[in-house]
Structure 1
């Protein structure tokens, strides 16, 4: 439907994600290579005859789609390529595009397009906001839908367990369960990987050490890897978090990250497995947490085995609403690297806020050339909630991750357009305003949470909501907001210039000079790199304090506008999804006020300057907000934020 105001018929619960495909025509004729691609087309294709054909000379996972003599011919060198081609054809059908006169050639930019699930053996999902793990008691139909959704956007790998790995992940019982999951995902071109605990030789194998250079340890890992591949011949490899946040690692035994990674790589290499070694490390003794990964990994550049990939978070701190890119990406020239994005919204309103992340990832790739990386990983936002992600629009970030990993040059606009059409239909009166909400949502969240380079001023523990004052006794400084905002009577921000922590020196010379000078530093990163005086004159002509106030208020007005736009969409959306999204947007609008009021009133105790008269003033009281706590863990989504 291209127009009109007819409400969508029936209710939908989001369980079909973006694969809301009608059944195929009874006359649809699909011939050629039998397999999952044929099954999908036989079930959902509504057009003319399709031929599935194996053809050499096409890149791994790539395919061609061509209209030939009244038929559509999908060619690929592998079953996975045929499946990706089939989903491409179905996407054209579903989004209302022409399926005639086709001449398409596609291949993925990255060979490895991997979801990282932070799922625990007890079924909890760290930073998960959509219920329990789908792998706890895998339901065959649920697993099939999970596999179809991933394959439809080109995702070809899944790390099944938390990077804070429990040693029992490598027990024989757990490996049998991993085998069962791998068997269910394999027909959709998805390989499984495991996060491992570096101390497993001690805790599972009963050895006295996990020293990566110890002969018994090396043998234990070789035997364990051989055991895994006997069960799962196409097992992908290991993801490792080591010597970070209390997790064990090679440095516990006087060894380096390279020693640990290369030992594991040696065990995996005969099976063509890989090691993804995370660079998320920080030492409480470092002068600046943002410097730590560079300080630990740069001396090791070029020392890693060729089947080791260093997995680096997009920013140098921890998935903040806005960060500069991690300087490791441009500094390490001799080591394969991959980026780790966070699809789940640990720092962006959990499953209560609509925040479309493709613009954030596009911003990252404007600094880091996609071709400089080997792979792309995303921390999943998937659980056993009916709608999979806790928020109907959070599904868009799962979709966007897959599409961007396949082709990083796809624009956020194109990806949003595809997802909206597949998920909600083709009504133009719905698509245009809601797509604009999606495209504006990340910047709005930055505005009402942490504008102008402010970072990590979240509540302790679960990270939902503002607590710029959070600084309990006994907690290490770099786990507290004052470590980052450093507000005082002069100004606020972390001095990372050459006369401060010198973090700017980790960037290429051109960026170092740009960031080091407060007059040239981009204003959206100003307090990231500078301790900015309250009366510093901004490009708008306002003082820094007044600009900060207005940015927060801009975010509140944007969040309210998102709700207003959605309220007007009722004629075009089924009542269940309309109501569920509306409730979330109301929470987001209230939370935006909470963020603005808590941050401005708290920072005002340092600035001693008035809130500008040409904006809405806070409506909450600082003392009451400072007493407010949400009694949740890092494994659940809050019902709402501050609502006194």
Structure 2
């Protein structure tokens, strides 16, 4: 009997051990199931040779050894030498730099019977090591690994919106990763795992705290905590940045104000920069949200954004630090168009910023909506480096209950043509500096990480973190190829599962747009927490925080007129870029209501009226979620059972939310159109008042 109990416990332990909780992200170095490909790499797995003792290079050696031992099922010895004989893998720091590899690029090659990873810097070796592991993990034949890769963007950055009290603004995956109360004495092992994950996809910079920053981060107490994190990240080639509160000189220094032209204020920042770099020598610099949504800034004293940014830039310049100044600034104007705000705030100062200042611009002109046209600032500031700010956390994309793969959204913006220097002047070329020869290039993503065991709440949201890093390294990669990599590394290499999951991911963003904000609708979500539909919202602290400000529904039609007879926001774009959107009859349907107030009965290119098309999108979008549910259910047994069950539950929640969005929006907009819901769709069974009550419960619970 005792034997049977022990056997049962062993079997149970085995089952538990096989369960996958998502913690390892895409770094699952389990034995490669493809025996043919595994045999190819085993031929090069006798040892790893290296020729650098640099801490980052040593990280590369350690990661490569750990990864290959897991993937190939073999112990691999290390050899501290500058060369490798047949049957090994060499990590070679080039004694003479190779120009085309730059400071972070790498080259993979098979030479004289061994695999050679070469780079000009230790960081390049680290990225090359992770690239080789990615090739092995995705079962890429060894004969196809050869080639060079260099990052197109210099600073590939995650912006963490974490607070001192452990919360995360717009965080949907638990509490902050940073245990401020325990730092600097206690170093959570998770910090290293976070660094590993970022380095594996090429991320080399991290902002630790919320852009709505506490001045406390500028105190020595917190700088020592930040140093502890910086020390963990440094061997992974990651620099630490901090968001700053512009009023810190007044709050902490007890100065009479924080006027950037006041000598005492300027000196306070000079001394603070010396203190920071004395504690953290490789500190990256500052991220600043100023004069936006109540945050303090230079305009409080009649100064400009350039005045504020340049003051900080002068303070960090001796240490080669940079200042990233956010362009998310908009004044409350009930008669204006928030679409134009960032352009009007920053375009006049093009060329007025110091060389170590970067202006960080959100991908669209409003605020991370499910679909936005690219910001008109891109291509409009040739003398000022512009950084891209994407949002990886799903603030407006269903939090952690909705499966929305964001690479198509990122690519849609990056591939858009600004026409700043003629056709082909893509947003990506603006950001990577190649169009205007910017001296600094930055791509930032608002992080979706948190203390949840699987890091991102929804396991499928890990793909958005992964995709951001891969596109920041190389914006020419396709969203489909990135999805395929991630699926193979994270979920399954079964051919059927791979195809099904990739197809789900590729269309998931469009499905979400259809059941929430189709045809160019935007900013009609619940106020405050930005959850669920609230298109009827007409009162808020500011007019541009309401829904009616954006959708402009009336008895005639729907949509915001941004043409010459409206706000003329289209006039901010190059004429060749604006041309695609300027005429209502030729405007692509995804942007129709962004730029035009369209009559309800107007016939669209689909052959349906605006009203009928709107209803069709809402109904088919919701049903598309049900279709995804069925497709996912069919994958049972082709991946880890725990992961499959978790995603299944979230898809069920997403379908419930899709029906909520559908019913709320069609019933609300019907009060203006006064038109019946078209066949074959069945009118909602609940009333608009019932749905409004539901929203109130969610908003004020």
TM-score computed with the length of structure 1 as normaliser: 0.95
- Three-state SS of the structure 1 residue aligned to 2:390 is strand
In structure 2, the residue matched to 1:232 is 280
8 Å CA contact 1:118–1:380 kept in 2: the answer is yes
> Are 2:293 and 1:293 equivalent residues in the alignment?
no
In structure 1, the residue matched to 2:379 is 330
- Three-state SS of the structure 2 residue aligned to 1:207 is coil
- Three-state SS of the structure 1 residue aligned to 2:340 is helix
In structure 2, the residue matched to 1:641 is none
Q: Of residues 114, 118, 121 in structure 1, which corresponds to 2:164?
A: 121
In structure 2, the residue matched to 1:394 is 461
> Are 2:518 and 1:470 equivalent residues in the alignment?
no
How far did 1:631 drift? 6.1
Shift in alpha-carbon separation, 1:411–1:8, aligned structure 2, 3 A: farther
> Are 2:121 and 1:75 equivalent residues in the alignment?
no
Residues of 2 paired with 1:599 and 1:585: CA distance?
21
Q: Of residues 149, 153, 161 in structure 1, which corresponds to 2:197?
A: 149
Structure whose CA Rg is larger: 2
- Three-state SS of the structure 2 residue aligned to 1:628 is helix
How far did 1:477 drift? 1.0
Alignment of 1:88-127 (within 5 A): 88-100=131-143, 102-127=145-170
Residues of 2 paired with 1:632 and 1:200: CA distance?
36
How far did 1:572 drift? 0.7
8 Å CA contact 2:378–2:427 kept in 1: the answer is no
Residues of 1 paired with 2:605 and 2:147: CA distance?
46
Residues of 1 paired with 2:216 and 2:578: CA distance?
45
8 Å CA contact 1:122–1:136 kept in 2: the answer is no
- Three-state SS of the structure 1 residue aligned to 2:452 is coil
Q: Of residues 515, 518, 529 in structure 1, which corresponds to 2:584?
A: 518
Residues of 1 paired with 2:140 and 2:579: CA distance?
47
- Three-state SS of the structure 2 residue aligned to 1:587 is helix
In structure 1, the residue matched to 2:354 is 305
Residues of 1 paired with 2:518 and 2:31: CA distance?
47
In structure 1, the residue matched to 2:91 is 52
Q: Of residues 552, 557, 560 in structure 2, which corresponds to 1:494?
A: 560
- Three-state SS of the structure 1 residue aligned to 2:637 is helix
In structure 1, the residue matched to 2:474 is 407
Unmatched runs of 5 consecutive residues or more in structure 2: 1-14, 33-41, 73-86, 417-425, 432-440
8 Å CA contact 1:160–1:192 kept in 2: the answer is yes
How far did 1:111 drift? 0.8
Alignment of 1:303-382 (within 5 A): 303-367=352-416, 368-373=426-431, 374-382=441-449
In structure 2, the residue matched to 1:542 is 608
Shift in alpha-carbon separation, 1:385–1:121, aligned structure 2, 3 A: same
Residues of 1 paired with 2:88 and 2:646: CA distance?
40
Using CA pairs below 8 Å that are at least 6 residues apart, which structure has the higher relative contact order? 1
- Three-state SS of the structure 2 residue aligned to 1:45 is helix
8 Å CA contact 1:344–1:379 kept in 2: the answer is yes
Alignment of 1:152-191 (within 5 A): 152-191=200-239
- Three-state SS of the structure 1 residue aligned to 2:198 is helix
> Are 2:53 and 1:10 equivalent residues in the alignment?
no
In structure 1, the residue matched to 2:3 is none
Q: Of residues 590, 601, 604 in structure 1, which corresponds to 2:670?
A: 604
In structure 2, the residue matched to 1:429 is 496
- Three-state SS of the structure 2 residue aligned to 1:31 is strand
Residues of 2 paired with 1:308 and 1:207: CA distance?
25
Residues of 2 paired with 1:28 and 1:591: CA distance?
54
- Three-state SS of the structure 2 residue aligned to 1:504 is helix
Residues of 1 paired with 2:655 and 2:698: CA distance?
21
8 Å CA contact 1:28–1:45 kept in 2: the answer is no
Residues of 2 paired with 1:210 and 1:324: CA distance?
36
8 Å CA contact 2:135–2:145 kept in 1: the answer is no
Residues of 2 paired with 1:102 and 1:623: CA distance?
60
Residues of 2 paired with 1:106 and 1:126: CA distance?
35
Residues of 2 paired with 1:177 and 1:50: CA distance?
38
Residues of 2 paired with 1:323 and 1:624: CA distance?
31
Shift in alpha-carbon separation, 1:427–1:598, aligned structure 2, 3 A: same
> Are 2:618 and 1:552 equivalent residues in the alignment?
yes
Residues of 2 paired with 1:630 and 1:274: CA distance?
44
Residues of 1 paired with 2:606 and 2:632: CA distance?
31
Q: Of residues 517, 522, 535 in structure 2, which corresponds to 1:455?
A: 522
Unmatched runs of 5 consecutive residues or more in structure 1: 1-6, 639-644
Which range moves more in the overlay, 412-421 or 372-381? Answer: 372-381
8 Å CA contact 1:8–1:572 kept in 2: the answer is no
Residues of 1 paired with 2:213 and 2:649: CA distance?
35
Q: Of residues 47, 56, 69 in structure 2, which corresponds to 1:29?
A: 47
In structure 2, the residue matched to 1:614 is 680
How far did 1:371 drift? 2.0
Shift in alpha-carbon separation, 1:335–1:28, aligned structure 2, 3 A: same
How far did 1:619 drift? 3.6
8 Å CA contact 1:8–1:573 kept in 2: the answer is no
- Three-state SS of the structure 1 residue aligned to 2:519 is coil
- Three-state SS of the structure 1 residue aligned to 2:18 is coil
How far did 1:621 drift? 2.2
Residues of 2 paired with 1:252 and 1:104: CA distance?
53
TM-score computed with the length of structure 2 as normaliser: 0.87
Q: Of residues 617, 625, 630 in structure 2, which corresponds to 1:564?
A: 630
Shift in alpha-carbon separation, 1:101–1:455, aligned structure 2, 3 A: closer
How far did 1:506 drift? 0.4
Residues of 2 paired with 1:16 and 1:28: CA distance?
26
How far did 1:23 drift? 7.2
> Are 2:304 and 1:256 equivalent residues in the alignment?
yes
1:173-210 CA distance string (max 9 Å, x none):
01000000000000001000000010000001111111
8 Å CA contact 2:401–2:653 kept in 1: the answer is yes
